[in-house]
Amino acid sequence: MRPRWEHAVVTGGAGFVGSHLCTALMDQGTAVTCVDDFCTGSRENLSHLEGRAGFTLVRADVSKPFEVRRPADLVLHFASPASPADYLRLPLHTLETGSAGTRNALALARSWGARFVLASTSEVYGDPRQHPQNESYWGNVNPVGPRSVYDEAKRFAEALTTAEFTSHGTDTAIVRLFNTYGPRMRGHDGRAVPTFICQALAGEPLTVTGDGRQTRSLAYVDDTVRGILAMAASDLRGPVNLGNPDEITMLGLARLVIELTGSRSEVRFIDRPTDDPAVRCPDITLARGKLQWEPEVPAREGLDRVIRWFRERRPA
């Protein structure tokens, strides 16, 4: 079968989700140019692609003008610090990537007549007062809180992407990704799944914030990538939620990781971060109906895969 696209540009392609996107596109026969400044991504995530015909790596900060020499028919804008540890360390860079970086990526797509897909986030819903969250919900975001640099960067990126379509007719789309996990996550990035797994494998206490009753909805990365490419291949503008509607409490997740790793670790409760959402669960009615997409990998199976991946990389 011929690929849907001849050449795709993936900004942030050395990151967790971005590197899986690059792999999926290459495996279906699409040439890929990855653009990344490695502020949070890793070249190791791309080691299996470097040297393959059709793969190009451009080291660049997308918030500044950058060049991709070969025109593309698909631009996937995934560049951004995404974990709390990263965007709290790089607040201005996060805002610049969401604003100037989105504008630069949109300009490329417009110049080539390419389909453009923005990776937005469930964080645009903030600490939601609607549950589960559907795409028509406007959110409950603190614009000056510690998480605002990421939340507002993505909200502005959505507004910019929408304005690009209404002003220039550029073929744009927006996906809102909920919590995604899988291989190539960094153990120290502050997100619950890799943190709990690394603590359990080391025999350390699993640090659960607050009372652990806050919920998240975890989607395995292969499911998320499948949804992103389905959105890219559609004529939808979005936004469209992509996530797993099966909720789990953070305490429940910690206990499940302990069980799956066979660890003797205990749970230790620590202070809950400011503006940490109490609940997070996507309404995926739109994705199911328009993209015929829904997650397929159960939590136990997905976590088993990630645990094996981390085990294989632990020092002997």
Taking only the tens place, the pLDDT of each residue in 283-306 is: 999 999 999 999 999 999 999 999
> Annotated catalytic residue: which of 87, 125, 137, 150?
150
- Phi, psi (rounded to 5 degrees) for 230: -65, -40
Query: Could you tell me which of 311, 310, 83 has the C-alpha nearest to residue 189?
Result: 83
DSSP three-state, residue 144: coil
Q: What is the DSSP letter of 282?
A: B
Alpha-carbon distance of 136 to 138, in angstroms, equals 6
CB 122 within 8 A of CB 154: no
Domain ranges of the chain: 7-185+219-245+279-296
pLDDT given at position 1: 39
CATH top-level class of 7-185+219-245+279-296: alpha beta
Instruction: Pull the structure tokens for residue 236.
Output: 């939808």
Rounded-to-integer distance, Cα 164 and Cα 154, Å: 15
What distance in Å separates the CA atoms of residue 102 and residue 105, rounded to the nearest whole number? 5
- pLDDT one-digit tens code per residue, 33-76: 999 999 999 999 999 999 999 999 999 999 999 999 999 999 99
- Residue 240: pLDDT band (50, 70, 90) is very high
Pair 114, 75: CB distance under 8 Å: yes
Q: How confident is the model at residue 313 (pLDDT cuts 50, 70, 90)?
A: confident
Q: Are strands 215-217 and 247-249 parallel, antiparallel or unpaired?
A: antiparallel
Q: Quick check: is 125 catalytic?
A: no
pTM above 0.85, yes or no: yes
pLDDT tens-place string over residues 195-220: 999 999 999 999 999 999 999 999 99
| pLDDT reading at 113 higher than 90 | yes
Phi, psi (deg, nearest 5) at residue 106:
-65, -40
Q: Peptide bond preceding 143: is omega within 30 degrees of 0, i.e. cis?
A: no
For residues 161-172, average pLDDT = 98
Is the separation of the CB atoms in 154 and 124 below 8 Å? yes
